[in-house]
Structure formats: C-alpha cells, structure tokens
Amino acid sequence: MSAALYAAKAGLRVVVCENSARLGGTTALSNGMIWIPRSRQAAAAKIDDTIEKANVYLQHELGNYYRPDFIDVYLNDGPTAIKELENDTEVEFTLASAPDYHSSQVGKGRALSPAPYDGRKLGKDFDLIGDPIRVELGGMMISSSEVGKFLNPFQSFAALSHVTRRVARYITDRFGYRRGTELSGGNALIARLLVSLRQRGVEIWTNSTATELLTTGDRVTGAVVSRSGQTWHVNASSGVVLATGGFARDARLRRELSGAHQHDETLAHPDVTGDGIDLAVAVGAAVDNDVASAGFWTPVSLLKTPKGNEIVPYGWLDRGRPGVIAVGPNARRFVNESNSYHDICLAMFQHGYPEDRRFYFICDHDFVRKRGMGHLLPWPWTLSIGKYARNGYIQVAQTINALALRIGLDPDSLEKTVKQHNRNAETGLDPDFHEANPPSTACSATRL
C-alpha cells in the first residue's frame, strides 16, 4: 500500500491486488512500528540523531551481516521516504514511547508509531481493515500507551476518565460496527493508507491472487490475477511490486529458508504463504538467505479453545517484569528475561528448541495477580486462574519441587535455580547475564 501510494502520487495508474478479504496482512495485526533515524519527529523533539550514530548502532547489531551499500541507502533515504509518505496524505507517524530493542547500545535511533485513527471516517471501507491480533471486550483495541490506565483505572481521575470514555465509545461503536473504531498501531496505518489511496483513485482488489508474472524478454510486464472466479491479465507499463509478507505459513519454505530456526507456530497473517517468493523465483529471482535469522521472533503459548488452539504472544506486561524467570529443559535460566522477545527466542533456539520444547516462565501467584501471564490478564480482569490450570494452559503447584515434577524438569535443579535467582535479586546483580536487577526481582518459592 505504501508503494501504491508513492506511485499514485507520481501520477501513475495503480491497482492493488490483495489475496485476502481484508487489507493489511501482518501489519494490520501488529503495532506497525518502523525504525527510521533522523526523522522529522525526532528533530521536532530535539533528539540528537545523526547518520554516524545510527551507523554505529547498526554495525554493532549486524556484525558480519552489516552491508554498507544497503545501510547507506536506508539511513540517507529513510527520512525522505517517510516525509514523502506523510506529505499531502492521511499517513502520520509519531515518536514511539518504546525504546530500541538494544537501547543500551551506543548510537541507538528512534522508533516511529502510526498515529491513531478514527475508523468511522472510513465509512463502508472500515470492514476492509484486517483485525488486530488481540482485542479486549470482544473488539476494543488498546494501544501500548493506554495499557497502564486500563490495568489500574483508579490510579487517578485522568485514568478513570480515559477508561470510562473509551469503554463508552466502544459500546456505542458496537451498535454500528463489528468491533471498536478507535484504531491504533498497524490498524491505524492501514486505515490511513487506505484513505490516502482512495483519495487518489487507486483501484483496490481484494480476494485477488496473483498466480503468474508476465514477462517480455527479461522484463516483468504484468501479472495474471485470479479474481472472483475469473482470470485477469493485468499489463504493467511501469512495473509490478511484490509485497506479500514472507513465508511463515508455508511449511515447505520454512524448512528451506528458516535454517536453524525451524518452527511450527506463527503470529503472521494466515495468508502469508510465500506466494510472492514463488512468483519471483519462477521468473529467475533468487532468495538471499545470508542473514542472521530468517524471522522476527517472539515467544508464544497455546490456549485451548472450542475453536482450536489460540496463539498468545507475551508482551511487556509479564515476561520482562520483576518476579519471573525463564528456564529451559535443564531447569536453568538461559537468558536475561528482560531482553527483547526476539532475543528470548534466539536463546531458545540456541538451547535446543524445537527438538526439546520444555521452556517455561516460572513465577508465583502474586506475580500473576499483579502482572498477568500470557492470556491471563492481571487482577481484576482475571478473577481466578483456576480455569487456566484446568485446561492445561498453566501448571500450578504449591512448591518448586512439585512444580518441577509436574512440568518434567529436575526438581533439585529448579530449586537451585530459584534460590540462586533470589540471592541475585537481593544484591541487585545478575552474574549469569551481567545485568543489574532492581531488588524487587526476588521470585518467591513458597506460593506458586
């Protein structure tokens, strides 16, 4: 949609072919954040940001995978691209409150987040926006900046007023819409792109699958598109852009391209099946797989529901907070729990996943009540953890020893791990991962 908007602004005639019934793919499911140093948003906030600092950060992050030719283009053209995307359109980004994933590194940049959008402005097009990955009350989006207010609405009059207004608006929305219309994150970005494309007369075909690229000599000159039971030959005078989201839902491509990071579950959109890769390879393209890893990872859990397993991601509410430890098959910690979700998974792969899937977040009852865990929201949103224990989503025991036996870990090793972690918490130091921890990170072994 971004490529279509650029082309339309340049005066080209554009058609967007979307394989799914709704627009946005994985972007619509996600927060839709991007990493662009030296943005106008950073400049307006008087953030001291330079290409040199961004280069230092990326050199450290990428190591042997650092490509000066790629990075120079990215850092030089990124701010211009975002400015052009926002200029004379409905697209708008704001500085994100989230830090970089490795925020302690020299030269870190700043993330941008799509500005919220009122979905009511979309009219009938509202139903073209893909659903977000997780909503509350059956259809209300809550942005990351609002979570604190919703978890503790009585902390202040401002928090209570905000939550009351949001819930009232949501109730009103449900009289006319299938879900809430206050859009944030990737949902807001897709809505803003859609409105901008409509303003420029761009054709948007949903349920339209590209099945073949048309070529003349060594040029791609169009595509064959299956739409509404008919086959269309779309001629392209300027070019065809493939932006099909990756291959996470295709088992064959996962085996071929994921290397040491094999996996079965994914949070990617259901239609992310590698169609674009197959189309490109068929006309002579190749996949550059010389990368650190083939994915952007996050730990998930599976919640049994009447409709099957629901994949539940772990957010910043629980996994990285004081009072929880992550242990692997040997009942020992394998990572700094406050690392980014991507790093948590890389550590899992390094310690035997997926051959051995025994990786657990261990915490006590007080932690779950205060922070939640996975699908469990903190009290009072989750009044009892009993139903989660009964369906096997969590394992509960009265002692560390009993818990270890229940989840198939060595009891003595888990006891030793918890005791060592509690000693570390008392000193505020984590010798295993060279991090300073606040004293409140003690993990109680008496009430699980």
Give me the CATH number covering residue 371.
3.90.700.10
pLDDT of residue 190 exceeding 90, the answer is yes
What was the pLDDT predicted at 135? 73
183 and 67, same structural domain? yes
Q: What is the pLDDT of residue 14?
A: 96
Nearest alpha carbon to residue 354 among 362, 363, 345:
345
261 touches 342 (CB < 8 A): no
Domain that holds residue 155: 2-204
Question: What would the DSSP string read from start to end of 246-278?
Answer: -STT-HHHHHHH-TT---S---S-TT-SSHHHH
The reply to whether 8 falls in a domain is yes
Task: Calculate mean pLDDT across residues 219-242.
Answer: 95
Closest CA to 213 of 280, 275, 285, 284: 280
pLDDT one-digit tens code per residue, 5-26: 999 999 999 999 999 999 999 9
- The pLDDT value given to residue 254: 93
Residues whose CB falls within 8 Å of the CB of residue 382, separated by 6 or more in sequence, listed in order: 368, 372, 376
Summarize pLDDT for 42-55 with one digit per residue, the tens.
Answer: 999 988 888 998 99
Residue 440, pLDDT score? 43
Q: Show which of 204, 233, 267 is a domain's final residue.
A: 204
| Predicted confidence (pLDDT) per residue in 65-114, tens digit | 999 999 999 999 999 999 999 999 999 999 987 778 887 787 766 899 99
132 part of a folded domain: yes
Instruction: Give the contacts of 192 (CB within 8 A, at least 6 positions apart).
Output: 89, 90, 91, 92, 114, 115, 117
> For residue 391, what is the DSSP state?
T
Task: Give me the pLDDT at residue 447, please.
Answer: 32
Residue 439: pLDDT band by 50, 70, 90 thresholds?
A: very low
**Mean pLDDT value across the chain:** 89
Residue-level pLDDT at 333: 95
With respect to residue 92, please indicate whether it lies within any of the assigned structural domains. yes
Asked whether the beta carbons of 228 and 33 are under 8 A apart, the reply is no
Burial of 92 (0-12, 13-18, 19+ CB in 10 A): middle
- Using the structure block, give the residue that is written with the tokens 């918890």: 418
CATH code at position 175: 3.50.50.60
**286-334: per-residue pLDDT in tens?**
999 888 888 999 999 999 988 888 888 876 677 778 889 999 999 999 9
Q: Do 66 and 183 fall within a single domain?
A: yes
Range with lowest mean pLDDT among 174-178, 188-192, 234-238: 174-178
Q: What is the pLDDT of residue 441?
A: 44
SS3 content of the chain, % helix, strand, coil (to 5): 35, 15, 45
Model confidence at 435, pLDDT cuts 50, 70, 90, reads low
Give the CA angle between residues 96, 100, 105 to the nearest 5°: 145
For residues 346-350, average pLDDT: 94
Contact indicator for 301, 314 with CB cutoff of 8 Å: yes
Task: Give domain status of residue 229, yes or no.
Answer: no
Phi-psi region of 11 (alpha: psi -120 to 50; beta: other; left: phi over 0): left
- Torsions phi, psi for 429 (to 5 deg): -125, 145
Interval 28-33 mean pLDDT? 90
> Is the domain of 312 the same as that of 200?
no
Residue 382 belongs to a domain: yes
Q: What is the pLDDT of residues 380-417, one digit of tens each?
A: 778 889 999 998 999 999 999 999 999 999 999 999 99
Domain end (from 204, 228, 258): 204
**Do residue 40 and residue 167 come from a single domain?**
yes
Burial of 256 (0-12, 13-18, 19+ CB in 10 A): middle
Domain termination residue (choose one: 170, 204, 238): 204
Burial class (CB in 10 A: 0-12, 13-18, 19+), 351: middle
Rounded average pLDDT over 267-271 = 92
Give the chain's radius of gyration (CA, Å): 24
| Cβ proximity of 183 and 118 under 8 Å | yes
Rounded Cα–Cα distance for residues 222 and 116 (Å): 35
Is the Cβ–Cβ distance between 103 and 154 less than 8 Å? no
Across 96-167, where does the E strand assignment appear?
111-114, 117-118
Domains in the chain, number: 2
pLDDT digits (tens, 9 = 90+) for 134-171: 777 778 888 777 877 887 788 888 889 988 998 999 89
pLDDT tops 60 at residue 444: no
Q: Determine if the pTM surpasses 0.85.
A: yes
Q: Does residue 225 form part of some domain?
A: no
Query: Within a domain: residue 12?
Result: yes
Asked if residue 171 is part of any domain, the answer here is yes
Round to whole Å and give the CA distance between 293 and 288: 12
Question: What is the distance between the alpha carbons of residues 320 and 337, in angstroms, rounded to a whole number?
Answer: 5
Rounded CA-CA distance 127/21 in Å is 9
Task: Evaluate the omega torsion of the peptide bond into residue 354 and state whether it is cis, within 30 degrees of 0.
Answer: yes
Query: Within this chain, do residues 77 and 191 fall inside the same structural domain, yes or no?
Result: yes
